[in-house]
Structure 1
């Protein structure tokens, strides 16, 4: 194939020589082509022309080594030629030819047009044309080693770049090492729990914390019990596939020669219902589950979950064998003295109706429940839609049956609903009125009017309210929030919605507007956390009312420490930019806490001791050297003012009266200017602070200044199910395709850079 370009470039051949004769013939042919091309005029200096004439005589004696390789859909770069084969001051360069391979002697190959040819040429001989780009890949392989292939379309290597090492700050110490073995058990337990969290990820994949805790338990006899307690507090049964059966049997029947009783360490069980049949083996999994519950005498929480119940809340494509709650499990709970605090109900695991839940809650083990979660509970078709509605008159609905099952739990304080259709205006009034935490996630039937009515009657004791992914819920309930929930501390709301099917697009809000223009939210004074993410489907006036209500209530929110607001305002990009700059500055000014650097003198005992000694020395020098003359000067000045003037200006305090003045190791101002410029500096500081306060706008806002986290973002970002960030697009380039740094010297090649 022949390629015609505007500038003439040398022919690059990707032809593979079939024998040594072909190689020599092609070399002679290349020399002939080069001689002919030298006769054509070109823009060259006189020095280059003289070099060309000398090289014409040397071409016959030089050995031009050529290499050609043929690989389907890949290109191999030849090895470097040893320095002995080069002439003095020479350097190998690659020349590429695009000439058409029309020789009839060659075999027909679909990849024959893309073959590489290497020509070893002396450095003093300038090439006819430039064919090398500064960004051309450079790959060198060692002698005798396998040549690396560059396959077109090959995936990039993961980004394994070495991160810059952080240089630890030098802290003066006495060289004493902490006696970790002398720490009490409860301190070591908290250290190991914090250092090892989490033992597995959300997909039940084990982390490196599990082997680390095992190593720490074997390191020292003092570490054994706290390390094993941190490991067995929530045993990673389904995170260890190979040793799952051994772990279950080890908890059921520990060896008699063990020094520690692992069964009293377990506080929580997280069980994957999709793998419950493989707990130990297919025949004994149910019996082993019941035996496991009986053996754990300190068990408090049981969470039997399905991984598919997490976002995006869509069912799996293939059917799995359905697992149901076995009767042996509840029988084991009745025979033990366990007092559960947390439990999860999933309707897909129940082979009986909601009325059966009430009988289970009547057991001793469930009467102590404080946290309860319902997943995938949906109402039955209404009586009006059914044909036998006359026979169903007077029968309780699903909402009433669930409410009756909840009512028999006297200690219940935390209630959660996930993907439940029963959460509606029928269900909410039937819930207990002593709840301290309410979580409603992905419940499409929840409306703001029903929630506002529920909070008005049942929100007096509510301290935490979490409302995530509810497609029909707007923010109208915030208008009476201060009166309805006077003890509310945590408010979280995520308006990201998910489609019912992977190929559908029904994840838009089902409400007309998020907040009306005349609706102004009210905020309880006990709030500590406000987390409102991906707020959208409102206009700029409604957003202004929402933001203004927070700014104006700053004085009434003394406990607020964390505020996160991510909103989208559908306006022109210029107006949105100005809107964002205005409110971002206000929220930062009103709520953000000023960062104060930690004192370097408290880094260690030695640093603190040296600082105290240095402070004492400076105070001693001030009192004995400078203090005497200054005290006399102050007394003389006071006497002069008292005798010669009747002014109301207060006398300058003497050295003894200035007991509150403490000078550090670094004096920020001289004593001669301290007294005279103090009042002026204070007035200037007040004026500057006032100027900064009023420069943001015409109004002065109360500065709360206690929030350690202030995240405020306004853009036109559309939330997606999978949100990618910069790290998802950073991959390492293939070896040999590094970025050109501009330091390569190509002046002697006379080439082009493109």
Structure 2
């Protein structure tokens, strides 16, 4: 017989015993009264250990036959059960021919191993667990094909326990603080009450709870809540809140109409302000009752990125004429206002009449949304009517106190309107206006940029950076410069979000920066001519560091389309330079000034013994950092200083081909040659800047080649948050094809 390898675990047979067994040989219940009855036994294989027990207990010298094996295994059920062995085995008996394979020694070793290892009794799996295992297979959900997956929530980081603060345990009397101090604390802690989608935050119930803490907290907490009442953020009590502001109770603790300073109203939900029939009357009563109202913003939630039109039509709302008539006879003096052409069918000429009212003469901020030019027409007398740009310019000229102007998603903002804007503007915001070009903006800054302090230019598809060449001369008072060059497509399925300019900066154009700048944010810069254009742009900021003493925030995000190796070197080089020149290296705060107790213990001299112990421990821990600093501060580009210093009398082996000094020198020469070859602007990377500004608390500089998109996907967008099993399966769902999954 050929030598074969038997399986370590024998085959399990579930064959029933032969019918030749007599009734006397089958054990009865009386024979097993001494052992507890088991409901059901799991069929298991018969091990060698059972055979050895049978051989020791049987007096016959020959091997048991098939019938004898069955009888012996059942008669020894009590012994095997006490030892954790199966009570019944259905394995076929082994014949002499099968034992002639010479594998008995292997089975004896297995028996010895099992005798040393304690065995645990296995129990039958209950029915509920079996059902759960059966349902573990994945069943497809009812989500429609192509629907986006639900974004998996990022795991919350475990909050680190705060460091113990040495304190005397004295809690100050917060209720004794002045009213204006508590008011500022609550306003700062609760901002914002709602997000940009008018969804309420947790600050609203928190302010209500703070108002109920004590008598001193009631008025400042409610004042912080009613300064900008979340009318459309609260759905259940919206009508009650409006009625409460309109009709002030006589026994009220606080005069609520006086506390309101700003109103943010959603125009799409204006009909449900209280009820559809009295919405206009309630709006008029609400605005006129708030005598200290300063800011009134009636907005459309769709007027935000990506600035697309609504897919389904809704009920269109218009500015009620009763509102402006009530403002004419009220004492309200507005400070900010928003005009939306969708809500204003009367046109710009009617807007000019509204601006002449007393309530609008105090306007300092105004916003125009979705205003588009209309072609001029000739009258019957061949008189050319004024254009839309001229009408808007005349409406703005009627506001003597205007300081801040914003155009949002307006085609009317073009080279025709910019020269007609007022001269006393301090803030100009042009967002998503496709007709704004760099030449038109530069001409406007030459004539009207002397008083500008803030310039925001976001998502303007035709605007480059050529206007930065003369920015220092045209805007000498500019403090904030923000520019985001991310563009949006007109339709969700289209791809017309590419810039409409060819070159971001033309050849030879070098920007100039006003000395009054505090914030510079330039994001998604792209379409450079070459790396020389980007180098000249970055060098202009580095060279102007001495002339920017008030700069505190610097953010530059740009894309450079070059080889990834060169881009990595380019990014490494300029990131280090911007961090070195502008980043603020402030010393950490003194931990001994965290409390009066810490300061007192710091000034109190310790005992002599404790002082000696502290000095000894300090010297023990400070030896290694000093040695490490001595090793790492050596000026070299190689990694040799990272290794521990060798002794002076150390001898070298004869097999060493070159000394360490020669290796260092060769590495330095090669690295210098490579850096000189890869340097784009012809200057060495080791060139130190001429001036270190070192006052910016925010320095963000990034160079990549990522294509800007409306939504940047990350790992969370490709993970499904649904359960892995079928816990939601109840068995009552209708199945069309006859299969559950």
Q: TM-score, normalised by structure 1?
A: 0.69
Question: Within the alignment, does 1:423 sit opposite 2:413 as a pair?
Answer: yes
**Residue 250 and residue 124 in structure 1: after superposition, are their counterparts in 2 closer, same or farther (change >3 A)?**
farther
C-alpha contact (below 8 Å) 1:417/1:439 kept by paired residues:
yes
Deviation at 1:142, TM superposition (A): 10
What secondary structure does 1:542 align onto? Answer: helix
1:88 to 68, 72, 84: 84
Question: Cα deviation per residue 1:15-56 (whole Å; 9 max; x = unaligned)?
Answer: xxxxxxxxxxxx99x98xx89xxxxxxxxxxxxx95798899
C-alpha contact (below 8 Å) 1:213/1:227 kept by paired residues:
yes
Question: Within the alignment, does 1:568 sit opposite 2:569 as a pair?
Answer: no
**Residue 481 and residue 162 in structure 1: after superposition, are their counterparts in 2 closer, same or farther (change >3 A)?**
closer
1:519 to 506, 509, 527: 509
Cα distance in 2 for residues equivalent to 1:495 and 1:50: 79
C-alpha contact (below 8 Å) 1:156/1:734 kept by paired residues:
no
Aligned to 2:161: 167
Question: Cα deviation per residue 1:213-257 (whole Å; 9 max; x = unaligned)?
Answer: 111111111111110011000000000111100000000002222
Aligned to 1:605: 596
- The structure with the largest alpha-carbon Rg is 2
2:542 to 535, 547, 551: 551
Question: Cα deviation per residue 1:565-615 (whole Å; 9 max; x = unaligned)?
Answer: 110011111111111111111111111111421111111111112212239
**Residue 352 and residue 197 in structure 1: after superposition, are their counterparts in 2 closer, same or farther (change >3 A)?**
same
Question: Cα deviation per residue 1:514-542 (whole Å; 9 max; x = unaligned)?
Answer: 11121110000000000001111113221
**Residue 479 and residue 247 in structure 1: after superposition, are their counterparts in 2 closer, same or farther (change >3 A)?**
same
What secondary structure does 1:189 align onto? Answer: helix
Instruction: Map 1:125-136 to 2 at 5 A.
Output: none
Instruction: Map 1:187-586 to 2 at 5 A.
Output: 187-381=181-375, 393-538=383-528, 539-586=530-577
C-alpha contact (below 8 Å) 1:492/1:532 kept by paired residues:
yes
Question: Cα deviation per residue 1:136-186 (whole Å; 9 max; x = unaligned)?
Answer: xxxx99979984733334589955856323111111111100211001111
C-alpha contact (below 8 Å) 1:339/1:364 kept by paired residues:
yes
Unpaired segments ≥5 residues, structure 2 = 1-6, 13-40, 55-65, 75-79, 87-109, 114-124, 142-148, 620-628, 637-682, 727-741
C-alpha contact (below 8 Å) 2:434/2:462 kept by paired residues:
yes
What secondary structure does 1:291 align onto? Answer: helix
Aligned to 1:629: none
Aligned to 2:699: 710
Cα distance in 1 for residues equivalent to 2:572 and 2:276: 62
What secondary structure does 2:360 align onto? Answer: coil
Cα distance in 2 for residues equivalent to 1:173 and 1:708: 30
Aligned to 1:179: 173
Cα distance in 2 for residues equivalent to 1:50 and 1:553: 90
2:605 to 592, 598, 614: 614
Question: Within the alignment, does 1:721 sit opposite 2:710 as a pair?
Answer: yes
Aligned to 1:592: 583
Deviation at 1:285, TM superposition (A): 0.6
Cα distance in 1 for residues equivalent to 2:10 and 2:532: 67
C-alpha contact (below 8 Å) 1:141/1:147 kept by paired residues:
no
**Residue 313 and residue 161 in structure 1: after superposition, are their counterparts in 2 closer, same or farther (change >3 A)?**
closer
1:152 to 132, 139, 150: 139
**Residue 382 and residue 509 in structure 1: after superposition, are their counterparts in 2 closer, same or farther (change >3 A)?**
farther
Cα distance in 2 for residues equivalent to 1:522 and 1:479: 5
What secondary structure does 2:470 align onto? Answer: helix
**Residue 601 and residue 435 in structure 1: after superposition, are their counterparts in 2 closer, same or farther (change >3 A)?**
same
**Residue 393 and residue 169 in structure 1: after superposition, are their counterparts in 2 closer, same or farther (change >3 A)?**
same
Deviation at 1:699, TM superposition (A): 4.1
Cα distance in 2 for residues equivalent to 1:62 and 1:588: 83
Cα distance in 1 for residues equivalent to 2:8 and 2:240: 74
C-alpha contact (below 8 Å) 1:497/1:509 kept by paired residues:
yes
**Residue 194 and residue 146 in structure 1: after superposition, are their counterparts in 2 closer, same or farther (change >3 A)?**
farther
Cα distance in 2 for residues equivalent to 1:499 and 1:180: 53
What secondary structure does 1:322 align onto? Answer: coil
What secondary structure does 2:556 align onto? Answer: strand
Deviation at 1:381, TM superposition (A): 2.6
C-alpha contact (below 8 Å) 1:52/1:125 kept by paired residues:
no
How big is the alpha-carbon RMSD for the aligned residues of Structure 1 and Structure 2?
4.0
Deviation at 1:204, TM superposition (A): 0.6
Deviation at 1:719, TM superposition (A): 1.4
Deviation at 1:717, TM superposition (A): 1.1
What secondary structure does 2:558 align onto? Answer: strand
**Residue 465 and residue 160 in structure 1: after superposition, are their counterparts in 2 closer, same or farther (change >3 A)?**
closer
**Residue 153 and residue 666 in structure 1: after superposition, are their counterparts in 2 closer, same or farther (change >3 A)?**
farther
**Residue 253 and residue 704 in structure 1: after superposition, are their counterparts in 2 closer, same or farther (change >3 A)?**
same
Higher mean alpha-carbon deviation, 563-572 vs 254-263, is at: 254-263
C-alpha contact (below 8 Å) 2:557/2:703 kept by paired residues:
yes
What secondary structure does 1:188 align onto? Answer: helix
Question: Cα deviation per residue 1:482-510 (whole Å; 9 max; x = unaligned)?
Answer: 00000000000000000001110000001
**Residue 156 and residue 419 in structure 1: after superposition, are their counterparts in 2 closer, same or farther (change >3 A)?**
closer
Cα distance in 2 for residues equivalent to 1:369 and 1:390: 38
What secondary structure does 2:212 align onto? Answer: helix
Q: TM-score, normalised by structure 2?
A: 0.70
Cα distance in 1 for residues equivalent to 2:81 and 2:156: 38
**Residue 736 and residue 394 in structure 1: after superposition, are their counterparts in 2 closer, same or farther (change >3 A)?**
closer
C-alpha contact (below 8 Å) 1:378/1:421 kept by paired residues:
yes
Question: Cα deviation per residue 1:414-467 (whole Å; 9 max; x = unaligned)?
Answer: 000001111111000000111100000000000000000100110000000000
Question: What is the number of equivalent residue pairs in this alignment?
Answer: 571
Cα distance in 1 for residues equivalent to 2:71 and 2:699: 77
C-alpha contact (below 8 Å) 1:301/1:341 kept by paired residues:
yes
C-alpha contact (below 8 Å) 2:583/2:695 kept by paired residues:
yes
What secondary structure does 1:614 align onto? Answer: coil
**Residue 686 and residue 439 in structure 1: after superposition, are their counterparts in 2 closer, same or farther (change >3 A)?**
farther
C-alpha contact (below 8 Å) 1:269/1:302 kept by paired residues:
yes
**Residue 686 and residue 555 in structure 1: after superposition, are their counterparts in 2 closer, same or farther (change >3 A)?**
farther
What secondary structure does 2:350 align onto? Answer: helix
**Residue 696 and residue 10 in structure 1: after superposition, are their counterparts in 2 closer, same or farther (change >3 A)?**
farther
